[in-house]
């Protein structure tokens, strides 16, 4: 699989404060990578390093096999970027700004632009200084999505968008994903990441603490099981991988280590299963585990 983004051992100091300690991950061709972590974890710092806005202190960072610092001009021709706080030239209209962005990127797709303006319900004739936060985000998103890039980098792109617009953003990202583009998406909206990402990278205090597909990450954690048996359900409390066991008559609720799920199932079946419900952990569960340390 071709690597579009390769980050290895990235480090960044701000004075004496080490914002990035050791950041390593990749984005493959055609892959959507969800980049998540608590406030101040280093997501935007990593992204700004990738964009050549700030210079790393150590490690390597490449996009399209080129160095993000030395070859940033060349790299920028093939990427679209939307930050969480899109800044605009106040005296231009939204439409003019979108066109300017597109021109800087070799034209863009005007039909797609018109379609997106319509979809995001943006009034392109208003001057940017009159736009609300959400409308400024829309300008950034419409411009980025109208440009045919090989890599899209979004840093909390939907901040300030209402849920309807957020859903439209997700649909449009799915389309560029289907077109085989690569996407690095940093977001605090976990349902968004859950829906879009092929792979999740979790950063905490400047270090990557977990990387994998959602299924892989789920595998490392626990499901919530609701079990009712014909025989005495108390036996289940001592089965390997069963935790937080709570019982009422012949019904039990417990956490199950996903690695031990098949053992748990076979032990339960010895007792005669009347009900077995298992809910996999959500990305939120996985996330909270890391957030809380």
Residues at the contact surface with ligand ATP, assessed by CB under 6 A: 14, 17, 19, 37, 39-45
Residue 39 binding: pick among ligand ATP, Mg ion, none (C-beta 5-8 Å cut-off by kind): ligand ATP
Chain centroid to Cα 44, Å, comes to 13
Q: b/e string for 258-282 if b means 16 or more Cβ within 10 A?
A: bebbeebeebbeebeeeeeeeeebe
Q: Which backbone phi and psi does 4 adopt, to 5 degrees?
A: -90, -45
> Which is it for the CA torsion 228, 232, 234, 237, positive or negative?
negative
CB of 44 to Mg ion, least distance (A): 3
The size of the interface with Mg ion (CB under 5 A), counted in residues, is 2
Of 117 and 161, CB closest to Mg ion? 161
Q: How far apart are CA 77 and CA 255, in angstroms?
A: 49
CB of 81 to ligand ATP, least distance (A): 14
Only one of the segments 9-17, 19-27, 44-52, 207-215 lies at the binding site for Mg ion (rule: CB under 5 A); that segment is 44-52
Residue 46 binds Mg ion, judged by CB under 5 A = no
Q: How far apart are CA 44 and CA 194, in angstroms?
A: 20
Residue 80 binds Mg ion, judged by CB under 5 A = no
Residue 44 binds Mg ion, judged by CB under 5 A = yes
What angle, rounded to 10 degrees, do the helices at 94-104 and 133-146 form?
30
CB of 2 to Mg ion, least distance (A): 28
Of 44 and 223, CB closest to Mg ion? 44
Binding site for Mg ion (CB under 5 A): 43-44
């Amino acid at each position: 699989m071709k690597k579009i983004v390769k980050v290895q051992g990235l480090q960044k100091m701000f004075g004496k404060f080490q914002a990035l300690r050791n950041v390593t991950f990749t984005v493959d061709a055609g892959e959507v990578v969800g980049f998540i972590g608590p406030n101040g974890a280093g997501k935007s710092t990593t992204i700004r390093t990738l964009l050549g806005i700030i210079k790393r202190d150590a490690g390597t960072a490449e996009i399209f096999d080129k160095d993000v610092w030395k070859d940033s001009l060349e790299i920028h021709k093939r990427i679209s970027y939307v930050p969480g706080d899109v800044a605009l030239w106040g005296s231009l209209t939204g439409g003019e700004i979108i066109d300017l962005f597109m021109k800087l990127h070799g034209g863009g797709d005007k039909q797609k632009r018109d379609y997106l303006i319509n979809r995001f319900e943006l009034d392109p004739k208003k001057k940017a200084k009159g736009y609300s936060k959400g409308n400024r985000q829309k300008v950034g998103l419409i411009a980025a999505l109208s440009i045919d890039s090989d890599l899209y980098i979004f840093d909390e792109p939907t901040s300030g968008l209402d849920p309807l617009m957020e859903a439209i953003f997700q649909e449009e990202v799915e389309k560029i994903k289907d077109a085989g583009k690569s996407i690095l998406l940093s977001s605090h909206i976990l349902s968004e990441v859950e829906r879009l990402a092929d792979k999740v990278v979790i950063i905490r205090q400047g270090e990557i603490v977990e990387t994998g597909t959602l299924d892989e990450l789920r595998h490392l954690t626990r499901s919530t099981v609701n079990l009712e048996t014909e025989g005495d359900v108390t036996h289940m409390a001592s089965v390997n991988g069963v935790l937080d066991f709570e019982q009422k008559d012949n019904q039990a609720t417990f956490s199950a280590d996903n690695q031990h799920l098949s053992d748990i199932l076979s032990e339960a079946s010895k007792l005669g299963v009347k009900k077995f419900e298992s809910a996999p952990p959500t990305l939120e569960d996985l996330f909270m585990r890391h957030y809380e340390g």
